[in-house]
Amino acid sequence: MKINLIDNGFCKAAGLLRTRILERIPAEFSTDGLPLELCVDAGIGCAESYCILAAGNGWRITGADHCGLIFGVGKFLHTARWTADSFTPRPPQGVVSPACDFRALDCPSHFYNWYQMAPVEELTRYLEDMMLWGYNTVYSSMGVVNMERLDGPLFRRTAERFRSIFGAAKELGLRIGLGLSPNQAERSAPREFDADLSFNLELRGSLGRNLCLSKPGALEHMRGVWRAQLEQYTDIGIDYVSTWPYDEGGCGCPSCRPWGSNKYCDGCIELAKEVHRYYPDARIIVSTWAFDAPNDEGEFAGLYRRLSGDMSIADYLLVDAHGDFPRYPLEHEPIKPIVNFPEISMWGLAPWGGFGANPLPERFQRLWDSVSHLVQGGLPYSEGIYEDINKVQYIGYYWQPDRHWTDILAEYIRYEYAEDAVEEVLELMRCIEHSHTRIAGEQMPDAAVVRRAAQLAAAVNARLSDRARSAWRWRILYIRAVLDEKRYTHLLADTAEDPKKLLRFHYYSGDRLLDDPEAQKLFLELQGYYHCVPHNGENHHTLPPAGGTKLDVVI
């Protein structure tokens, strides 16, 4: 197929279009080919809009701005009908505009996850892919939870890595978001500043070193922690800074609690002052993660009162929970724009991603339907690439809130797998979710559903193109179906003898698969994709052991 790519000087968008086409078909770029023209015209619509129209015997992709042009290129690619040597464009009609302005890709670099371990080139490629699907912001946090000192080698390596990632993101036109906690310090922080951990740790967590901001000197120490991070990117620029209350954060002493409406707010105010010293135009996102969990302590109510007063520094509230969306924001008039933080990584499964992809489309549809009228964007919580399907599902909502998951993922399946595989892969995802959800609810999986998932995966795998069959996006879904059949078969046999084995099966170590050569080969393949090794005491993306060594920990 010959293509005449008229870039009009938009080299970045043209490069993405050219690269993705050449990865799929043996195209030749020449002036006598199908004309594809790239344009920018602010008059077509709001920021980040795009329009794809037939123009003469070719096509014109127009963005309202540079980002809109790249989003248009992505839609042009994703909606085309591809064969082995050509494609037929099938773009949407008219101008397409995003419903939500804040659409952030979460890239936390901690616990030796994919974002921390993958080569920068591979991570940059992933940023490009996610932008082509419609994300406009790259968000990350430094992982101080892992760091002994802020002048140590881990901090310097992480800062340099972030500079590379954020720099590449800026070149694409993406915005940059940085996560900071008002009271999360490095591990070597003075012990006399330690927080009181008498808050519910099961739901809130207590990672790393949390300080008590009521203790003399603790706030000044935290200013040093904030500044050490903020000063790393002054030549690149930061567009958003989010605060964080729990996991990284929290103090339960009488002077600080209820943390979410008391000292946390005070810390957010002081943190915002530091942010605006370095980045005057940065917007502040105040997270409410794990507020009022498990019982109502007045954190939401108190925060809402303060938002009209001294907490006016907040530009957004970030709201979500481990389970259903918190009730308070649903039942009260929002004072600030609300963005969500959907849990797409860890729900009901450990090791996270350790058995491959984790699609939960019907769960996410239900959760989205409950908040689509309220939220103005979001930051899906990610720990790696195994939730790639889930990221695409949510970005579909942020562009078009009334879109159904089957329509969003049908587009993904056609582009990433095969045109004729849509119905089978949608059913495969339903089957995987059915078993996943039953196990998370401490119910036995349905043996017929488990077998059906494996059969569907095998049937689709047999007729995919070589390119699609070998691509990691298909492999992690295929591997999940194969490993699920193996481990659920063992579970059904084990629980027939001892029903109690079901209770912690979502933490199942996979020891019963140690003598299964195919399973061990698939685990090793996942290690390659994730750039990680089995449990090393730090990596929370633990894979079941490969090589025959049983673990002495529950994973």
Contact, 389 vs 353, CB < 8 A? no
353 and 497 in a single domain? The answer is yes
Query: In which band, very low, low, confident or very high, does the pLDDT at 182 lie, cut at 50, 70 and 90?
Result: very high
292 and 401 in a single domain? The answer is no
- For 136-162, what is the mean pLDDT? 92
Q: What is the pLDDT of residues 53-99, one digit of tens each?
A: 999 999 999 999 999 999 999 999 999 999 999 999 999 999 999 99
Residue 101 and residue 135: Cα distance in Å, rounded? 10
Q: Give the least confident one: 2-11, 109-118, 272-281.
A: 109-118
pLDDT tier, 555 (very low <50, low <70, confident <90, very high otherwise): very low
- Whether 532 is in a domain gets the answer yes
User: Is 84 part of any domain?
Assistant: yes
Residue 508: the pLDDT is 56
Residue by residue, DSSP assigns 212-233 as -TTSTTHHHHHHHHHHHHHGGG
354 and 216 in a common domain: no
Q: Has residue 208 been placed in a domain?
A: yes
State pLDDT tens for residues 156-166: 999 999 999 99
Q: Are residues 277 and 351 in the same domain?
A: no
In a domain, 69, yes or no: yes
**Is the CB of residue 51 less than 8 Å from the CB of residue 45?**
yes
Residue 348 pLDDT > 80: yes
- 355 lies in the same domain as 486: yes
Look at residues 310, 365, 315, 312 and name the one whose alpha carbon lies nearest to residue 342: 365
Q: What is the pLDDT of residue 503?
A: 64
Clarify whether residues 195 and 291 are in a common domain: yes
HSE-CB at 292 with a 13 A cutoff on CA atoms is: 16
C-alpha distances in angstroms, 142 versus 149, 172, 250, 447, 523?
A: 13, 22, 18, 43, 29
Report how far residue 544's alpha carbon sits from residue 491's, in angstroms, rounded to the nearest whole number: 15
Does some domain include residue 376?
no
Residue 395: give the domain boundaries.
347-366+385-555
- Say if residue 425 is in the same domain as residue 499: yes
* pLDDT of res. 500: 75
pTM, to two decimals = 0.96
Residue 196, CB half-sphere, CA atoms under 13 Å: how many? 14
**Nearest CA to 246 among 313, 177, 199, 312?**
199
Q: Report the C-alpha gap between 164 and 121 in whole angstroms.
A: 9
- Looking at the fold, whether 313 and 436 belong to one and the same domain comes out as no
Q: What's the longest Cα–Cα distance across the chain? A: 75
User: For residue 151, what are the contacts with CB-CB under 8 A and spacing of at least 6?
Assistant: none
Please check whether residues 392 and 272 belong to one and the same domain.
no
For residue range 464-480, list pLDDT tens digits in order: 999 999 999 999 999 99
Say yes or no: 219 and 282 in one domain: yes
pLDDT per position as a tens digit, 237-279: 999 999 999 999 999 999 999 999 999 999 999 999 999 999 9
508 lies in a domain? yes
Indicate whether 104 belongs to any domain. no
Considering the domain architecture, whether residues 154 and 35 belong to the same structural domain is answered as: no
338-367 burial, b at 16+ Cβ within 10 Å, e below that, comes to: bbbbbbbbbbbbbbbbbbbbbbbbebbbeb
Q: Is the pLDDT of residue 549 over 70?
A: no
Domain end marker among 39, 65, 96: 96
Q: Do 169 and 78 share a structural domain?
A: no
> Rounded to an integer, what distance in angstroms lies between the CA atom of residue 252 and that of residue 342?
26
Q: What is the CATH number of the domain that holds 14?
A: 3.30.379.10
Domain presence at residue 130 = no
Decide if 240 contacts 189 (C-beta within 8 A): no
In DSSP terms, 210 is beta-bridged to 184
Let me know: does 129 contact 471? Beta carbons within 8 Å.
Answer: no
- State how many domains the chain has: 3
Token representation of residue 402: 């009334």
CATH number at residue 279: 3.20.20.70
Average pLDDT over residues 272-291: 98
